[in-house]
Amino acid sequence: MRLPALCLSLLAAWSSISAAPRPNIVVMLVDDMGVMDTSLPFLTDAEGKPRRYPLNEWYRTPNMERLAAKGVRFNNFCAMSVCSPTRISIMTGQNAARHRTTNWINPDNNNAGPQGPADWNWNGIKPGDVTLPGVLQANGYRTIHVGKGHFAPRAFEAADPSKIGFDINVAGGSIGAPGSYYGKQNFDRPAKANAKVKRGSHAVPGLEKYHGQDIFLTEALTIEAKAHVSDAVKEKKPFFLYFAQYAVHAPFDSDPRFAPHYASSGRSPQAQAFATLIEGMDKSLGDLLDHLDALGIAENTLVFFLGDNGSDAPLGHEHEVACAAPLRGKKGSHYEGGMRVPFIAAWAKADAGNEHQKRLPIAPNAVQSQQAAVYDLFPTILGLTDISTPAQHTLDGQKLDTLLTARPDTQREEKFLMHYPHAPHRTDYFTTFRDGEWKVIYHYFPGKASGGSHYQLYHLKTDPFEQNDLAQTHPAELKRLMQGLIAGLEAQNAVYPVEKSTQTPVKPKLP
């Protein structure tokens, strides 16, 4: 019996897809890198074209430019304002308000803060939790972790990323920052008299082979990432590489490979060192892209590049237009400079005939201005790999598929909730909520940072740099945004700051 022509064509298409190697996934996460810490312009002008600002002239990131030419960059991509919440959101596909790791995780002491919630998730991820690497691992992927973990405190199992779904862990532990970037210092803090923190407590783990060598941490991690990718390819295993550079987190150790580029700039030694960390991170990206090409797997490898929170550049006041100029604020603050991060998605090599690229096309050299967030990676990656999210696992993320084509996704709500019920940091005890063009900030305990008010309200389309607080003049919009903020927190079963004397939760109030 002869099959109809349509059936034959469908069978041929299915055979082509099933015969193709499964796509490899790379997530390169840069610590403390904001959207302005790059020579690649993300912000756009009134016509939607990338606009260069002075900081784009200061930094040197040619490989980010190279990757962006292959794919799409997002200029409204949001992360949590500090690191551990973002990292766990990537792992789980959930907003921090839901998974409750709403602060960075101190490795040794519960850092809820003086009026922070006792029931926040200081423990972080736990073995057995649903995680992106765990789901991919269960479906045949080699899962590789290289770099910073910061998923759990030191005494807990999940401080080791191999306990949460990674087959391989290089350099991941409970620490949120390296003791040193220098191999000659064993990536540890130099010994100091009367030091409060013991030597070794912030040493990057698992890199003993580089101890005593004249090598920078960023380079050592790149060598390790390339080696483990090579191993996976040799064994014909599809891989998920989570490449989480410790750079550009403090300490701002100058990378000597790039220091001459900034020596005559007139900027402070810290600002120069930060710029070398940025350039070293960018070289790492380029080296990895070159390696994918050399292995012959670039056309079958999807690369996501992003930061974990706003900029920590040492360029000025934390609440002003300085560190992430023209955006206001920096890491840990309630302004856009604290939570807007670079995001680039691209196939490492374009191939119109590749079946996976046909299924998930990505616009080249494009800019996407629709809002998205870090927890959207989870469903996007599982969708591409034809893997279902475990039935009982709640997701806040949505697939990025349409946005990756640089078209708008009319089915997608442009909302982002960022909850930080802790202190001390650049801003204490706050929640922000973006809904379309509007953003509200709620301060649980008003103070200098909030001008003595619970509320700040900004219209980001006309005031993208948050200079004109409309809380007093637009009461209807303020109430609507606060209703959305409160509903979002309740829907995600969030935890709240507490009263000093009674430990009673302090919930946001409508104006």
Q: How far apart are CA 373 and CA 89, in angstroms?
A: 9
Question: Quick check: 103 and 150 in contact, CB under 8 A?
Answer: no
User: CB–CB of 73/344 below 8 Å?
Assistant: yes
CB 305 within 8 Å of CB 35? no
Q: How far apart are CA 179 and CA 202, in angstroms?
A: 5
309 and 445 co-located in one domain? no
276 within domain boundaries = yes
- Position 509 in a domain: no
Q: Indicate whether 68 and 150 sit together in one domain.
A: yes
Domain that holds residue 140: 22-404
> Which CATH number belongs to the domain containing residue 43 in this structure?
3.40.720.10
Question: Please, where are the H alpha helices in 296-438?
Answer: 355-359, 377-384, 401-404
Instruction: Say if residue 178 is preceded by a cis peptide, omega within 30 of 0.
Output: no
With beta carbons less than 8 A apart as the criterion, state whether 303 and 347 touch. yes
**Omega cis (within 30) before 190:** no
pLDDT band at 144 (very low <50, low <70, confident <90, very high): very high
Is the C-alpha dihedral spanning 212, 215, 216, 217 positive or negative?
negative
Residue 339 near residue 420 (C-beta atoms within 8 A): no
Residues whose CB is less than 8 angstroms from the CB of residue 11 and which lie 6 or more positions away in sequence, other chains included:
3
Claim to verify: residue 398 and residue 447 sit in the same structural domain: no
- Structural domains of the chain, count: 2
In a domain, 418, yes or no: no
Three-state SS annotation for 159-217: HCHHHCCCCEEECCCCCCCCCCCEHHHCCCCCCCCCCCCCCCCCCCCCCHHHCCCCCEH
CATH number of 437's domain = 3.30.1120.10
Q: Is residue 72 in a domain?
A: yes
The answer as to whether 166 is a domain residue is: yes
- Asked if 437 and 384 sit in the same domain, the reply is no
pLDDT in tens, 249-260: 999 999 999 999
For the residues 421-441, what does the mean pLDDT come to? 98
Domain match, 240 and 146 both = yes
Please tell me whether residues 217 and 356 are part of one structural domain.
yes
Nearest CA among 88, 59, 60 for reference residue 374 = 88
pLDDT tier for residue 186 given thresholds of 50, 70 and 90: very high
333 & 198 share domain: yes
Same-domain pairing of 310 and 441: no
Residue 332 domain flag: yes
The pLDDT tens digits of the residues spanning 464-502 come to 999 999 999 999 999 999 999 999 999 999 999 999 989
Q: What is the mean pLDDT of residues 151-178?
A: 98
What is the structure's pLDDT at 397? 98
- 382 with 444, same domain? no
- Residue 482 belongs to a domain: yes
Q: Does a structural domain hold residue 66?
A: yes
Does residue 199 carry a pLDDT above 70?
Answer: no
463 burial via Cβ count (<10 Å: 0-12, 13-18, 19+): middle
Mean pLDDT of all residues in 286-300? 98
Terminal C-alpha separation, the chain: 73
